[in-house]
Amino acid sequence: MSRLTIVGAQWGDEGKGKMTDYLAQNSDVVVRYQGGNNAGHTITFNGQKYALQSIPSGIFSPKIKNVMANGMVINPKAALGELEKLHSMGITYYQLFISDRASVIMPYHLALDGAYESLKGGNMIGTTKKGIGPAYADKYNRIGIRMGDLLNPDYFAERLKDALAVKNMELKMLGLDTFDFESLYEEYLGYGRTLKSYICDTALMLNEEVKKDSKILFEGAQGVMLCIEHGTYPFVTSSSPATVSVPLGTGIPPKYIDRSLGVCKAYNTRVGAGAFPTELESDLAHYIRERGREYGTVTGRPRRVGYLDTVALAHACRISGIDTLAVMLFDVLSGIKELKICTHYVLDGKKIDYIPSTISDYERCEPVYVDMPVWNEEITTCKSYDKLPENAKKYLKKIEELVGTPIEYVSVGPDRVQTIEVKK
Ligand code: GDP
Ligand code: IMO
Ligand code: MG
């Protein structure tokens, strides 16, 4: 079991950064295979908290090879900013590899992300405004710039001219400022020069690691409910965080991907717009939001909070072939007054246990709950499954029963050491 995918099994922010860092301690390579700096992965160890956006969560260990693979969209300026921040926090020796085929997020993508959102008015997605959607759209429209292009001045000039011909026209039509070729060209060639030593063919390198039977972690960003194919479209991101993206996003054939770990919270959160059947707006939401510090890592927005939705979780497990679960932020539920788990929905009077394809149907889904017994004991120092309060164990067993997937890890605090391995 050398190659494991870590995938968000809800609407993002499940604690993928924490689990990647935890499992990276026994890994050789950590790979980000999709998304960009819309992600915010928080890692806490030795009393220090780090927030990563596009840099993989294995960066803290000099022995780990960290790969930003071809499926990513990369803002080179922001990535350099992240590296500078890491330097200032004492992380100065690391191994980083950036795919020459990864797409570049350009400044016009950020401008267009904001403009598209404004045009949608009340139907805005609530994107992170990092240019993710427009950058992926250009990739598929074949006018994208790739990281390797920045190393080749003549080729880059050609690519940028072609892209600007389209983008500047679009910007003009939207009444936005256009971009000057010369200054963009010089600026982005500069990023290429600075990042040159990291940029390479990461698919070649990763397949060599597979041959050596290296332990590889694939670090997903976002979550399956935000998947462009299987999420709550159109209120999704522009890539697929599901395990199926790993082969395409890295260049490693599917037969070499061994296993998938689904990371989920003990409850649900969502940041940004879109239907959220189990959303709470009561004192209970406040209780969870404050105990879980549920504020976005990237945008600082308060996260919407709700009871655990096992219809959505089972959907993620099905789509992503999740073998086992890591249940995160379990400590947050201690002391809660009323606890429920959503078992299925009712849509127009009919019981359903799947996610409808349209938002208009999904918005009409009424959650149906099973009541769960509460517990008051704090569990943040709990080191083993056996020591958890009986009602807490009942809660975990109920999740396994409803979702049909075994729980492998339970997280009882943000720190690396606050992690319970259930089988131990
Ligand atoms: P990611 O995007 O999936 O990596 O998750 P984020 O880092 O955006 O959000 C998860 C938040 O929960 C972070 O602030 C983590 O430090 C924190 N966290 C992770 N696991 C636990 C846990 O078990 N308990 C508590 N209280 N916080 C946790
Ligand atoms: P991590 O990796 C939570 C959400 C945005 C918005 C939608 C589209 O930290 O779990 P985008 O900027 O991607 O076009 O926004 O997706 N979103 C996330 N929500 N966690 C994330 O990443 C997210 N990345 C994007 O809030 O609703
Ligand atoms: Mg996050």
What is residue 285's predicted lDDT score, i.e. its pLDDT? Answer: 94
Domain with CATH 1.10.300.10 in the chain: 103-195
Going from the Cα of 33 to the center of ligand 2, the distance in angstroms, rounded, reads 15
pTM (predicted TM-score): 0.97
- Per-residue CA distances from 18 to 26, 62, 185, 196, 374 (Å): 14, 18, 37, 29, 26
What is residue 424's predicted lDDT score, i.e. its pLDDT? Answer: 76
CB 243 within 8 A of CB 262: no
Mean pLDDT over the full length of the chain: 97
Domain with CATH 3.90.170.10 in the chain: 264-421
Among the bound ligands, the one closest to the CA of 269: 2
Among the bound ligands, the one closest to the CA of 220: 2
Which string of DSSP letters, residue by residue, matches 153-181?
A: HHHHHHHHHHHHHHHHHHHHHTT-----H
CB 36 within 8 A of CB 73: yes
| Each residue's pLDDT tens digit, 202-238 | 999 999 999 999 999 999 999 999 999 999 999 999 9
Residue among 145, 147, 180 nearest 159 (CA):
145
Query: Does the pLDDT value for residue 151 go beyond 90?
Result: yes
Going from the Cα of 190 to the center of ligand 3, the distance in angstroms, rounded, reads 29
Query: What integer is the mean pLDDT of 387-401?
Result: 98
1 pLDDT tier (thresholds 50, 70, 90): low
Identify which of 328, 334, 379, 420 to mutate to test ligand 1's pocket (most ligand atoms within 8 A of the CB): 328
| Each residue's pLDDT tens digit, 233-287 | 999 999 999 999 999 999 999 999 999 999 999 999 999 899 999 999 989 999 9
Phi and psi at residue 415, to the nearest 5°? -75, 150
Going from the Cα of 239 to the center of ligand 3, the distance in angstroms, rounded, reads 15
More confident residue, 121 or 32: 32
Q: Does domain 264-421 have CATH number 3.40.1710.10?
A: no
Going from the Cα of 368 to the center of ligand 3, the distance in angstroms, rounded, reads 28
Identify which of 10, 13, 295, 418 to mutate to test ligand 1's pocket (most ligand atoms within 8 A of the CB): 13
* Euclidean distance between CA atoms 10 and 263, whole angstroms: 8
What is residue 282's predicted lDDT score, i.e. its pLDDT? Answer: 87
* Euclidean distance between CA atoms 248 and 71, whole angstroms: 7
Fold of 3-99+201-260: Adenylosuccinate Synthetase; Chain A, domain 1 (3.40.440)
Nearest-CA residue for ligand 1 atom 9 is 13
* Euclidean distance between CA atoms 270 and 11, whole angstroms: 5
| Each residue's pLDDT tens digit, 5-26 | 999 999 999 999 999 999 999 9
| Each residue's pLDDT tens digit, 403-417 | 999 999 999 999 999
Residue among 329, 313, 331, 311 nearest 262 (CA):
313
Query: Does the pLDDT value for residue 115 go beyond 90?
Result: yes
Tell me the residue type at 381: T
Question: Atom of ligand 1 at shortest distance to CA of 44?
Answer: 16
Among the bound ligands, the one closest to the CA of 41: 1
Burial level of 270, CB count in 10 A (0-12/13-18/19+)? buried
Query: What integer is the mean pLDDT of 339-343?
Result: 98
Nearest-CA residue for ligand 1 atom 10 is 15
Peptide bond into 134 cis (omega under 30): no
Read off the tokens for 20. Answer: 């990647």
* Euclidean distance between CA atoms 69 and 417, whole angstroms: 29
Identify which of 34, 42, 421 to mutate to test ligand 1's pocket (most ligand atoms within 8 A of the CB): 42
Tell me the residue type at 395: Y
Lowest-confidence segment of 93-107, 116-130, 311-325 by average pLDDT = 116-130
Ligand 1 neighbour 35 (Cβ under 6 A): no
Query: What integer is the mean pLDDT of 303-328?
Result: 98
Q: Does domain 103-195 have CATH number 3.10.580.10?
A: no
User: Is 283 tagged catalytic?
Assistant: no
What is residue 187's predicted lDDT score, i.e. its pLDDT? Answer: 98
User: Is 41 tagged catalytic?
Assistant: yes
